[in-house]
Amino acid sequence: MSKFMDLKPIVSPKSIAIIGASDNPQKVGNVILKNNIDSGFPGEIYPVNINSTGTIMGLKSYRSVLDIPGNIDLAIIAIPAMAVPKALDECGRAKVKGAVVVSGGFAEVGLNDLQDQLVRTARKYNMPVIGPNCLGVTDPRSRVDTLFLPTYKIDKPGVGGVSFAAQSGAVGSSVLDMINNEGFGLARFFSYGNAAVVDEADILNFLADDEATKVVVFYIEGVKRGKEFVEVAKRASKKKPVVVIKGGMTVAGSAAAHSHTASMAGSAEAYSAVFRQFGLIEAKDIRDMLNFAKIFDTQPLTQGSRVAVITNGGGTGVLATDALYNNGLVMAELSDATKKALRKIMPPIVNIRLPLDMAGDADDVRFAGALELISKDENVDAVMAISLFQTPGADSRVAATLIHYGTTMKKPLVVVSMGGTYTKAHKAMIESGGVPVYDSPGDAAESIAALVRYSRYKHEKD
């Protein structure tokens, strides 16, 4: 077997066999089959069930993959654990190119011998296998979906540039559900469970070279092949941002990780040191992970730490100032020319200094004027625009202005907006336009700091 496995047949199959497909809506195989039909998977779908009577959900079915007349790129296996090795062996004999084993009941419950049998079978046929004990993959481009989650229970994101991989199916499904509400789209999704055959190094190696992936986001509980993972991480981070959240950083968390996916979590300090050394962006929690993903997905890199803050609420400007310095950033100092130009377009009550409090009646004209001038100031590396949509002047025109500058400026722009229903509607509008919006100045500053750290690392390595 090669050092890293080819995952293309798994994420972009032209034909799939669902082993364990069923007409019974209570069965996992029923959900997986229905999801692929509903998603409009364009290739051949072959339901497989040992008790098949001819059709399942209106499709011709088979008792074994060996009975299928066509070529099979991907087999999705959703049957009791004890039957998996035999089914996988049949996949090998049928020359299936890859498999996802969603079935649980292997090393994570102490059945190491059964998992070893699965691994031996995969290696015998040089077959990439994701799992067992996983959700598998979903890919909005190829429209393959091995997840056994009913579509009405999850908001699956559209096509985008962020790829997400997780050992944990629970974390993976939750994040997948959240991505759709964070204003960015999905490139690839991997839930790889016990990582018996395909592991973190394989997945990161694939995503590093994947043209559809702009940003890699990883939730890991442990690494099986440390040397290979470090090798790939070093290469991947030179090409694109890799955001990592590590589960099992405490002693108790490490024990929970082992019982969850049979993963040896390892030293928290060692992982953090590797992340820092090779330019991976470490997130403390899922909120950070999503915050970092959306700034890397939408905004240009910057090595500079000088941030200009504009706001229509003075108190939030104070909070933003604290947030910048707490994250190793600094408030920019505007040039005299910019200050002079701002003085001409701002009301007399506005003090021309950063953070720039444009007053509570600031409208789209005031926001546009400030952004036009500040974005061109050579003393400014990034901009944080705080828009409180509760104020009289802040409406959809302000949102449109923020979208315009956030997508045309050559410097990063992030938006902070806090509030209820009206604010959330405008937040969704801005993010759908390709500009990241944060719920607090702290979240925004932390994300800018992550962008700066990665930008500096990449510049050093280029």
pLDDT greater than 90 at residue 250: no
- Which CATH fold topology does 300-461 show? Rossmann fold (3.40.50)
pLDDT greater than 50 at residue 254: no
**Per-residue pLDDT, 272:** 86
CA distance 19 to 84: 10
**Per-residue pLDDT, 367:** 97
Nearest to 299 by CA among 374, 409, 188: 409
CATH number of the 154-298 domain: 3.40.50.261
pLDDT greater than 90 at residue 140: yes
What pLDDT band is residue 2 in, cutting at 50, 70 and 90?
low
- Which CATH fold topology does 1-133 show? Rossmann fold (3.40.50)
CA distances from 102 to 134, 141, 234, 249 (A): 5, 21, 30, 26
Percent of the chain residues topping a pLDDT of 70? 95
Q: Where in the chain is the domain with CATH 3.40.50.261?
A: 154-298, 300-461
Residue 191 is inside which H or E element, if any?
Answer: strand 186-191
**Per-residue pLDDT, 312:** 95
Who contacts 155 (Cβ-Cβ below 8 Å, separation ≥6)? 177, 180, 181
- Per DSSP, 108 falls in state G
Nearest to 172 by CA among 135, 146, 200: 135
Nearest to 207 by CA among 274, 139, 265, 115: 139
**Per-residue pLDDT, 270:** 83
SS3 25: coil
* β-sheet bridge partners, residue 242: 216
In this predicted model, what pLDDT tens digit does every residue of 17-38 receive, in sequence order? 999 999 999 999 999 999 999 9
CB atoms within 10 A of CB 350: 17
CA distances from 122 to 88, 292, 411 (A): 7, 36, 48
**Exposed, middle or buried by CB within 10 Å (0-12, 13-18, 19+), for 103?**
buried
pLDDT greater than 60 at residue 251: no
In this predicted model, what pLDDT tens digit does every residue of 383-433 receive, in sequence order? 999 999 999 899 999 999 999 999 999 999 999 999 999 999 999 999 999
**Per-residue pLDDT, 268:** 75
CB atoms within 10 A of CB 38: 12
pLDDT greater than 50 at residue 263: no
**Exposed, middle or buried by CB within 10 Å (0-12, 13-18, 19+), for 285?**
exposed
Q: Where in the chain is the domain with CATH 3.40.50.720?
A: 1-133
pLDDT greater than 50 at residue 299: yes
Percent of the chain residues topping a pLDDT of 90? 81
Cα 334 to the center of its chain, rounded Å: 36
Name the percent of the chain in helix, strand, coil, to the closest 5: 45, 15, 40
Q: What region, left, alpha or beta, does residue 387 occupy, with left being phi > 0 and alpha being psi -120 to 50 degrees? A: beta
Q: Please, are residues 62 and 94 in contact by the beta-carbon 8 Å criterion?
A: no
**Per-residue pLDDT, 183:** 79
CA distance 312 to 320: 12
**Would you tell me the crossing angle of helices 336-345 and 364-374 to the nearest 10 degrees?**
170
In this predicted model, what pLDDT tens digit does every residue of 52-100 receive, in sequence order? 889 999 999 999 999 999 899 999 999 999 999 999 999 999 999 999 9
Residue 401 is inside which H or E element, if any?
Answer: helix 396-408
What pLDDT band is residue 248 in, cutting at 50, 70 and 90?
low
pLDDT greater than 80 at residue 129: yes
**Per-residue pLDDT, 255:** 46
- Average pLDDT, integer, range 147-162: 83
**Per-residue pLDDT, 448:** 98
What pLDDT band is residue 259 in, cutting at 50, 70 and 90?
very low
**Per-residue pLDDT, 253:** 42
pLDDT greater than 90 at residue 262: no
Q: Please, are residues 300 and 256 in contact by the beta-carbon 8 Å criterion?
A: no
**Per-residue pLDDT, 257:** 43
pLDDT greater than 70 at residue 266: no
Taking CA 181 as the corner, what is the angle to CA 178 and CA 185, rounded to the nearest 5 degrees? 85
What pLDDT band is residue 150 in, cutting at 50, 70 and 90?
confident
Query: Residue for token digits 């579509």?
Result: 151
Which tops the pLDDT comparison, 354 or 183?
Answer: 354
